[in-house]
Structure 1
Amino acid sequence: MEEIENIMDDLSFQNRKLEEEYKMTAVPRGICLIINNKSFKKGFPTRRGGVDIDVDNLTELFTKLQFTINLQTDLTSVDMMKKLKEYAEQDHTEYDAFVCCILTNGTDYGVAGSDGKIVKVQDLSSLFHASKCPTLAGKPKLFFIQASRGGNFMSELIQDDQSDISTADEADIFIGHSTVQGYTSSRNTKYGSYFIGSLVKTLDNHSDQQDLLSCLLMVNRDMSRTRMGQKWERYKQVPAPLFTLTKKVYLTSDPQWPYPSQVPTDP
């Protein structure tokens, strides 16, 4: 009797997990598309220094998290839309998630293709709405965007020491902007961007124990405490995640967590 009760408790626990967390046991988990626009024909500085560091860090991280990496470099605005549409039309039935990292210049209007033309982030993410990408319906679609969203610098405030799948069409999407709309996004030509650096470090250290949004809170806290710019001109940056997620996302590197009974086995 006690053994049966333990089995029932375990099943109840697994059901709660299914209700509260997205399934994340497929190997590979899904595709991680990295778009690295580092050379521009017009409208922006011709090259973005340090971006290859971000690519290397993201590749290492999402490989560890068991995603298949696809790197695309210097896509025009049209090619960005075409590439995302191509992935949205693929069959993701065997996958549990989709990740897209966009490293580029940008404005408050959107992100830049290598031709200097702007694409709205909403136009890119909308390609993965459930009605357009049914094999990812009910699964998390995660977009991490390292790009400025304006030309303003965020001021540093100085204080004294005392001081089943039936889902809404636009559900299950996460967009992690590196900065608030209207503000610039900082990058170090030697070490890469501050946002990607903090994101990779945080997910690498905590994603097995903490869900994605909890990790993003850590990134925001880390970024908000970081001083940027030269010593004669200090400024701040804080990321601005947006999401329509309906469950917790665990980007775990362990293939058997948290659903050991659902991990596929070899025949």
Structure 2
Amino acid sequence: MDHKHRQILQLYRQDLVTRLNPADICDGFLSKGVFTQDMIDEIQSEITRRDQARQLLIILETRGNQAFPAFLQCLHETGQHDLAELLQSGDGAHLPSSVPEQPSVIPLPVQNPKYSEKTDRFDFTPPRLVPLGQESLPVPKPLSTSSETEVRPNRSRRDRIECYKMDASPCGICLIINNFKFDPASDLKDRKGSNIDCDKMEKIFKALNFEVIVKRNLKYKNIKQEMSFLAKRDHSAYDCCVVIILSHGTEANHTHFPGAVHGVDGPSVPVQLITNYLSGQNCPSLQGKPKLFFIQACGGGKKDTGFEVPPDEKEHSSIPISSRTPDELDARATLPTLSDILVSYSTFPGYVSWRDTQAGSFYVENLDRVLEENAATEDLVTMLTMVNDAVSQISAKGLYKQMPGFFSVLRKLLYFQSSQS
């Protein structure tokens, strides 16, 4: 989008979010080719009209130079003439042309607070402010060596983070969507080795006392249908819900959770839309309970060649180099609604994910191992950090690296049930 038009949208953003009715203009954007159906679905997945308006504006700024004129036309066609005229009134003369120059700042020396046994507190004397140009600033003293470091009294540490209740039997439902055989018309290759990943995930989550449901080779509409079925179930007797998706993936516009996963017929479902099915508002019986999503799929088409590791890090890299092939690339109140959700990705958004046709994917292989070895003692976030570290040390084809990651809005620590605990 033209820079001037982007500035106009930002200038009147509050008016647009407050007054815009996205439902009225989505069809117009679709018919004009400005938005795709996936983008419309992503906008409509937002709960409130305001959030839908915000998401529409975020996507609109990415849609090229014809997006702004099309927006004005859609506003007129749907009777929102006042908003169209407001945007048309914004010209370059009324927009900020540059960022105001920031005043020069000279840092003041940092003084370490001193502990007083008499008052049982740290005393801090603020530095004396010196007018610039009248005298030079004092030179801070060099850091003291370990032998000069003051001995401070030990203070007891108390963990204040609560843990989720995870003692129901079964603990919850684990839905696995395993897409491995794709329609020829989709231009996506079959995902050999995905069944190995599926078997590992089914086995480990049964061991963690989940009721596991496996669905195979789902089309775009069937993925959304299965998520809708899961959201409509009564989870009152459960403590948690898990969704695992093994498929091809791609990048997608988002406000919270990036990426999208493909149905076997080709179209992709945004991860944000998938998580929204189980939000506290759409699935009341899961309110306040952890909802976990594990995504084994490409996040895009970039290949990471990594960087040179310092000598002291190399000794930890005991995992051999692999010749694995990547997942196929693709064209591309109460508690807050967005809470108690964790999404774990096999790769950072924008990059490929690697899979061995005989042994399965890097990510699932290590996720399975870490859960099996550590579920009895470690919380989920700690274990996913272990997975990140393990996968990051592998080299595909002796060159390419992979970096998993996770987005968490969990409010408490999560410990799985385990036969060893």
TM-score (norm 1): 0.84
- Hey, what's the Cα distance between the residues in 2 that align with 1:161 and 1:124? 42
What do residues 74-108 of structure 1 show as CA deviations (whole Å, max 9, x unaligned)?
Answer: 11111101100110111000000000100000111
- Hey, what's the Cα distance between the residues in 1 that align with 2:266 and 2:395? 29
Unaligned runs of 5+ in 2: 1-158, 253-259, 314-332
What's the C-alpha RMSD, in Å, of the aligned pairs? Answer: 1.8
- Hey, what's the Cα distance between the residues in 2 that align with 1:79 and 1:122? 17
| Match of residue 217, structure 2, among 74, 97, 112 | 74
Correspondence 1:115 to 2:283: no
Answer yes or no: is the 8 Å Cα contact 2:188–2:266 preserved in 1.
Answer: no
Between Structure 1 and Structure 2, how many residues are aligned? 236
Instruction: From the CA coordinates, give the structure whose radius of gyration is larger.
Output: 2
Select the structure that is richer in strand: 1
Correspondence 1:24 to 2:155: no
Answer yes or no: is the 8 Å Cα contact 1:44–1:105 preserved in 2.
Answer: no
Partner of 2:304: 154
Answer yes or no: is the 8 Å Cα contact 2:243–2:294 preserved in 1.
Answer: yes
What do residues 182-205 of structure 1 show as CA deviations (whole Å, max 9, x unaligned)?
Answer: 100000000001100100100110
Correspondence list, 1:58-69, <5 A: 58-69=201-212
Correspondence 1:174 to 2:342: yes
- Hey, what's the Cα distance between the residues in 2 that align with 1:254 and 1:159? 38
Superposition deviation, residue 160 in structure 1: 5.3
Closer, same or farther in 2 for the Cα pair 1:135/1:157, shift >3 Å? same
Higher RCO (CA-CA < 8 Å; seq separation 6+):
1
Write the letter of the residue equivalent to 2:274.
L
- Hey, what's the Cα distance between the residues in 1 that align with 2:168 and 2:312? 50
TM-score (norm 2): 0.54
Partner of 2:128: none
Unaligned runs of 5+ in 1: 1-15, 258-267
| Match of residue 51, structure 1, among 194, 200, 223 | 194
Closer, same or farther in 2 for the Cα pair 1:69/1:243, shift >3 Å? same
What percentage of aligned pairs have identical amino acids? 36
Closer, same or farther in 2 for the Cα pair 1:43/1:216, shift >3 Å? same
**Residue 249 of structure 2 aligns to a residue in which SS?**
coil
- Hey, what's the Cα distance between the residues in 2 that align with 1:31 and 1:159? 41
- Hey, what's the Cα distance between the residues in 1 that align with 2:362 and 2:382? 19
| Match of residue 145, structure 1, among 278, 295, 298 | 295
Partner of 2:411: 246
Answer yes or no: is the 8 Å Cα contact 2:298–2:351 preserved in 1.
Answer: yes
Write the letter of the residue equivalent to 2:353.
S
Superposition deviation, residue 44 in structure 1: 3.9
Correspondence 1:211 to 2:379: yes
